[in-house]
Every structure is written in C-alpha cells, then in structure tokens.
Amino acid sequence: MRVSVNHCFVKLAAVFCIMVFPSAWLAAGDDGFRMEWSRTVMDGSRTGCVSPSADNVPETVGRVKGRKYFSPRGKVYKGGTAYAVASVVLDAQPVMAPVKKVIGHSPEAMILAAPESALSNLFIDRIMAAVEEKSGRHVDMGIGNFGGIRVDMPEGDILLDDMLSMFPFKNSIVYVALKGKDIRAILEQMAATRIQVLGGVRIEVSDGKLVSATIDGMPIDDGQVYGVATISFLLNGGDNLYVARNAVEVLQYDDVDIIDVMLDYVNGETAAGRDIVYKTDGRVKIL
C-alpha cells in the first residue's frame, strides 16, 4: 500500500507555481510504515506564478474575485482547477506572511548535489561550528546527510520559508567522540554505498573503495580519538549510518536543532551586511 500525504495538492499546485516542492509519501513495508520523499518540479507553465514574499502576493500569485482567478500572466480562469487551487493558496497567504519575511540574500543559487556542493558544505561546516561552540570540545570533522537538505538555496532574496523548507526535520546537533578506526569504517561504508555530507575530512574514493582520508592534513590515525559533529538522525541508523556506534562519548543537544543553527548563521550574516555565499573545496574526490 502507498498513501500520498500531500502529493495530490502538489500536483494541483503545479499548474501555477514555480518551485521544487518536497512531496512526502507514507509507504507500508514488511517492517511497518516509513516516510519517503520525492521532488516535483513546478514549471508555472499555465499562469506564470512564482513563489510569493509577504508583500507581493498579487503580482506573483494573482488574485481571485468572485468565481474568477486572475493570473499574473493576465489570463482569467473562471472556475476549474486553477481557480480552486489559487483560492486555497491565496487564502493561506495571510497566515503564511510571517514565514515570507526576507532574511537574507544569495547572489547565486546553491544547488544541492553529491558528493559535494556549496550548500552541503555550508550546512555541515555550520553544524561543526555550532557543536564546537555548544560542547566546548574541539571538533575535527562533521558528518551529515544529503537527505536532510530538502530544497536548494535560491538566487536573490532568501525567505524564512526557504530556510524552513530547506531544513524541515527536527534533528538536534550532537558531539560524538570516535576513534579513527571507527571513522574509517564509516567512510569505507560511504565509499561502498553513498557518500554523505562531510566536513573537516578530505577523502578520495575509487571504484567503491576509500583510497585516502585525512583530517587536518594528516592521515586518520586509527587509535586517535577525534571529535565529530553530527545530527541526532544519524546516530543509530538514519540513512544507514550509525555514527554513535563504538562512541567514546556522545553529547546530544536537544535544545539546538539544525534549523536553529542555519537561521542563526543567515541572520548573523545579514545583520553584518554580508550575502550568503559558499563554495566547494575538493573535500570529496571521486577518482
């Protein structure tokens, strides 16, 4: 059995919105129910709508009067699906106004991509910094997951809604002390399956094998204990990672979620008059 949580609405909204929308599915398997995600690209081909901010709803989404929907492109729809969906979206805008606040600016889009992208690097580097500050421990590396970042960073104005959509899951930050041999085991598993989001460590992978792994310019020492920043989802099986396995120490901060870390960063950069920018640095190389 496969039950759509919001896919029907997503398909309807596709007639007039432009965005990439994470669509949630509830799927039943032998081990019970699990949540699955896919993305639906909405091209706005019928009406020319774009995602609104708090103060430009008529210009970006259009307006409804009586039984007619007046789209931004100028076409008028009398009744039908476009009118029905537009009515729902427009009715929701006053409630959504607080999350449509502009909180930052990005001069170029950051497109999420594996095995490394500017957005994923920004994410894990900020998590590392937050864990180090919160724990008072030195953090050598970070481990995140691509699945925890649901949409790309837009070019131009960044809305609070963009950030909430980017990091929608309630996962807290965690400090984990791990021996080098256990870090190596995690990296070897990634090399054989799927590379996840990494920070502080530089790796090279070839034909599903870990060729090299260095922290602070030095090969990982199997006997040394390293400080690892991660998120609660990955401690015991999320995305098939068990970061807490064999841990020397685990400090979980349930009062600090991923979104808290990312919003603090964006708000801080904006207050300082800086754009939100980041880059790749070759931390993951597939040979």
Q: In what order do the strands lie in the sheet with 63-65?
A: 63-65, 68-70, 76-78
Query: Higher confidence at residue 280 or residue 94?
Result: 280
Share of the chain above pLDDT 90, in %: 69
The answer to whether residues 151 and 28 belong to one domain is no
Query: Higher confidence at residue 38 or residue 246?
Result: 246
What band does 32 get if pLDDT is binned at 50, 70 and 90? low
The answer to whether residues 127 and 214 belong to one domain is yes
Q: Is 37 helix (H, G, I), strand (E, B) or coil?
A: strand
The answer to whether residues 119 and 13 belong to one domain is no
Phi/psi region, residue 177 (left: phi>0; alpha: psi -120 to 50; beta: rest), is: beta
At residue 85, the pLDDT reads 87
At residue 34, the pLDDT reads 58
**Domain of 177: which CATH number?**
3.90.780.10
The answer to whether residues 96 and 110 belong to one domain is no
Residue 138 in tokens: 């030195």
* pLDDT above 90 (res 52): no
At residue 192, the pLDDT reads 96
The answer to whether residues 128 and 86 belong to one domain is no
Distance of alpha carbon 99 from the chain centroid: 17
The answer to whether residues 73 and 132 belong to one domain is no
Q: Which residues pair with 285 in a beta bridge?
A: 204
Integer angstrom CA distances of residue 121 from 2, 110, 115, 125, 141:
34, 10, 10, 6, 12
The answer to whether residues 127 and 269 belong to one domain is yes
The answer to whether residues 58 and 129 belong to one domain is no
Integer angstrom CA distances of residue 236 from 231, 250, 280:
10, 12, 29
Looking at the structure of the chain, the number of domains it has is 2
Cβ neighbours around 2 below 10 Å, total:
9
The answer to whether residues 78 and 137 belong to one domain is no
Q: What pLDDT digit, counting tens, does each position of 84-133 carry?
A: 888 988 998 888 888 889 999 999 999 999 999 999 999 999 999 999 99
Q: Rounded to whole angstroms, how far apart are CA atoms 95 and 90?
A: 10
First to last CA, the chain: 41
Ranking 31-40, 64-73, 275-284 by mean pLDDT, the lowest is 31-40
Q: Which residues contact 179 (CB under 8 A, 6 or more apart)?
A: 222, 223, 224, 225, 226, 246, 248
At residue 232, the pLDDT reads 97
Q: Which residues pair with 251 in a beta bridge?
A: 175
* pLDDT above 60 (res 40): no
At residue 45, the pLDDT reads 67
Q: What pLDDT digit, counting tens, does each position of 138-186 carry?
A: 999 999 999 999 999 999 999 999 999 999 999 999 999 999 999 999 9
Q: Rounded to whole angstroms, how far apart are CA atoms 185 and 240?
A: 13
Q: Rounded to whole angstroms, how far apart are CA atoms 174 and 284?
A: 23
At residue 22, the pLDDT reads 46
At residue 48, the pLDDT reads 81
Average pLDDT over residues 73-86: 88
Last residue of a domain, one of 72, 100, 128: 100
What band does 38 get if pLDDT is binned at 50, 70 and 90? low
